[in-house]
Amino acid sequence: MSTPADFARSLPEPTTAERVRTVLARAASLSLTTAAREYDLIGLHSVSPSGQVTLGSRPGCPLAREVATAPRGGLAALLEFTDIAPTPVRDRVRARVTLSGWLTAAGDDNGLHLDTARATLRTAAGAADVGLDELTLAAPDPLAVEEAAMLTHLTDAHGELTDALLGLAGPRLPYGMTRALPYALDRHAVTLRCEYPAGHCDLRILFPSPARDAAEAGERIRQLLTAPDAWSHHSHH
């Protein structure tokens, strides 16, 4: 017999590999650690369709010199990407992705490629390694790049929509909530962070069907609010 917890786990959500690719797709900065030093790189990386990370690097800069003098031309490196909620909620760090491997010169002054050996996703639920084949085959969530702007707009200009979405939870929210704000958005659902004096919980409100882009996500939210009884699948975290 299925329990409510079993049902919540079966609700559609991005895979671990997709979550990693999503964090990589929208990250504007990263922290890089080598045996010699640490770097904070802002706006200096790109991610290929297969998930390979390339770092912009000027010839002669400290990182390029480290790679050039590394044994066999490969510099052991650890890259960390931090996924931060774009809205002013409590505990804004949603996930951290770490990639470890070797940096090598791409040639023709095209920067440095990371030959990834291990990928790990860390969230409040714990840490999980992701297979490299899974990572290559996965794609970022289609809302990854636009999520921040959409959530910020929902928070700043449409607080009444947040209240209406919150109303879909009915009596399932614990008593004593002080504030609720949009927290996350993916093709399957919008998530609200519900804050209490001594903590918080997340209310994930599923869309009637997955959204393929920002316009469809807006339409899915409209469907939730105009026909709430038809879409009753929600989960708490």
Report the pLDDT averaged over residues 5-10.
42
167-171: which pairs have CB atoms within 8 A and are 24 or more residues apart? Answer: 167/228, 168/205, 168/224, 168/228, 168/231, 168/234, 169/203, 169/205, 169/234
Q: What is the pLDDT of residue 3?
A: 38
Report the pLDDT averaged over residues 70-87.
94
Report the pLDDT averaged over residues 79-106.
96
pLDDT tens for 26-40 read 999 999 999 999 999
Q: Map out the domains of the chain with their CATH numbers.
A: 4-137 (2.30.110.10), 147-236 (3.20.180.10)
Report the pLDDT averaged over residues 73-92.
96
pLDDT score of 231 more than 60: no
pTM recorded for the entire structure: 0.89
